[in-house]
Structure 1
């Protein structure tokens, strides 16, 4: 089966710890046949990719690895209400295959430094996170919504476990988010950077029930040692009833059959 990793960071991301060559060589080693670089565009953090240099580097990699890999051009764009016009202007006239919309900051608060959770019950912070997602998914045109369950990465630091939560309490919000995505022709990402939890499976089932079809898989690797074949992700898609997952070309989804050997 064709394996495609659609969330990878390189030296063009501030937190990237691998070159494009590193990622491509690791992909070949793992049997991955297609990948998409999705380096950061994060105006909230005053960071954006040097597009001409980024494009040139990807084209060099495309030529170098053309016999082994299909390499696509993407971005991971951070939602930012204040930067809506800047994002639009940055994207104008540029040819990307794929865009991830992700929430890393909420009202100038960085989700990764712990401040967002300070002084709140974790379940309330999660609700605020979903509400912020819902408010932002119409800010610009992207392909898929990235790492919907991002907050699970902080559970160990917060000394909580996925089993501490009744995820059904968020069904209303999740249904609204997923329906908005479907109505806008956008999809979701199944992010496999950390192990999946019950909520990930719940989201997949709900998205499928609502008629959603566009799902990509991404390792979200910032270092080639974190790349993997995403076997858990393919199995999760099958368990939720999906027979296909997606790759993109010039912003258009293409559906790839998930076979039983995944």
Structure 2
């Protein structure tokens, strides 16, 4: 089985210390056969990657590691409903293999520092999070929706025990997101940066029940210590009943048997 990590940040991302060489060497040691670099592009944070230098760096890495590792040029685009036109303008004349669309800000507020959740009852805050994703689903040419279960990263900040949460309460909002993605020929990412929880499995099951097929796996690594095998993800897909996951070439999904 071909093993591919489709969410890796190099030091082209301001929050990453991982060089492309380091990522490639670790990937080979882990038995991976393909990496897609997905460095950040964020309008709200004024993070605009130098496409030419970025692409050249991936091509140089291909020259060094190409006999052992397939390397793809990707991007993680932080989106909201206000920045879509600017994002499309940036992407329009560029050649990417894969684009993740990720919600990092909601209603103009930063998710990571807790601003979006502050002052809200938890059930309302999580419901609002999914509603904002649905309202903001990108119109630009993205491949998959990144880390739909991002909220699990904030449990410590919000002093939440995830086992106390009835995730079925959010099924309607999650289904609306997934239905729009499927109708638009887009997929989802199973993000493996943090251990999978019941919410991840719930999303996978809903996606399969609705007929969704396009899924990528990614560790969302930013540092040498965060790269790891993706067996947890493959096992989760098998458990839910998926027989394939996806890699991409020139924005086209290719299905890989698991």
TM-score of the superposition, structure 2-length normalised? 0.98
Q: 2-side partners of 1:43 and 1:27: how far apart?
A: 30
Partner of 1:197: 197
Contact conserved, 1:79 with 1:139, CA < 8 A, in 2? no
Tell me what 2:21 maps to.
Answer: 21
Which ranges in structure 1 are unaligned for 5 or more consecutive residues?
none
The aligned residue for residue 243 of structure 1 is 243
Once the two structures are overlaid, the 10-residue window that deviates more, 183-192 or 117-126, is 117-126
Q: C-alpha separation between the residues in 2 aligned to 1:21 and 1:138?
A: 32
Q: Which residue of 1 aligns with 2:53?
A: 53
Q: Deviations over 1:193-223 (max 9, x none)?
A: 0001101001101100110000000000001
CA distance, structure 2, for counterparts of residue 122 and residue 44 of structure 1: 25
Secondary structure of 2:62's aligned partner: helix
Contact kept in structure 2, 1:73 and 1:98, CA below 8 Å:
yes
Shift of 1:158: 1.2
2:154 match? 154
Aligned-CA RMSD value: 0.8
Deviation string 1:52-98 (CA, Å, 9 cap, x unpaired) is 10011011001110111000000000112222221111101111000
Deviation of 1:108 after TM superposition, in Å, equals 2.0
Gaps of 5+ in 2: none
Task: Name the CA distance, whole Å, in 2 between partners of 1:108 and 1:215.
Answer: 28
Q: Equivalent residue for 1:73?
A: 73
Cα distance in structure 2, aligned partners of 1:171 and 1:80: 22
Map 1:1-262 onto structure 2 (within 5 A). Answer: 1-258=1-258
Contact 2:143 2:186 in 1 (8 A): yes
Native 8 Å contact 2:4 2:33 kept in 1:
yes
